[in-house]
Amino acid sequence: MYLFLRHAYNFGILFVTVDMFEKLIIMNVNRQTINQNLAVEYLKFFYPPLRNEITQLSVQDNFAGIIQATINYLKTLLQESKINIIAHHIKLMDLIYKVGDSYVKDIIENIFVRSFESFKKHTKIQHWKLIYQHMPVNFQVIYNDQQQQDKIFFGK
């Protein structure tokens, strides 16, 4: 799987479909979960504009910073109303989440999914509805649970 990513990267393949990635994940499931180091390699591949930033943050062992960089990138896409691209990236992150180890899952839940509230606040309601509609059920459940917990603890 990692070898595929390296070859694709070397040949300049910049866009991978969710189906292609799912096949890679299925191949990996039988072997192991994805730790933060392997997740970083996927993210470098899926976010070519962020490759240098991701590399710098990974050298510093800052996986949370890498996830925040992807969020910042998606917020830029949100300002440009590129809803389909955002939905695609959310699906890719969900696939990493599904096979991630507990650390990868915790970071994605607590930084990536938590950022959806900011997306909601900073976009048109119809764009948010499209993002939410295309969001994997996994992330919808986590997001809704977070919203409920925030209501309980912070009265939001």
Q: Which of 20, 19, 26 is nearest to 8 (CA)?
A: 20
User: pTM for the whole thing?
Assistant: 0.81
pLDDT in tens, 67-82: 999 999 999 999 999 9
Give every CB contact of residue 130 below 8 A, 6+ residues apart in sequence. Answer: 83, 87
Mean pLDDT of 21-41: 73
* Cβ atoms of 136 and 90 closer than 8 Å: yes
The residue ranges of every structural domain in the chain are 2-154
What percent of the chain lies above the pLDDT cut of 70?
79
pLDDT in tens, 61-117: 999 999 999 999 999 999 999 999 999 999 999 999 999 999 999 999 999 999 999
Give every CB contact of residue 26 below 8 A, 6+ residues apart in sequence. Answer: none
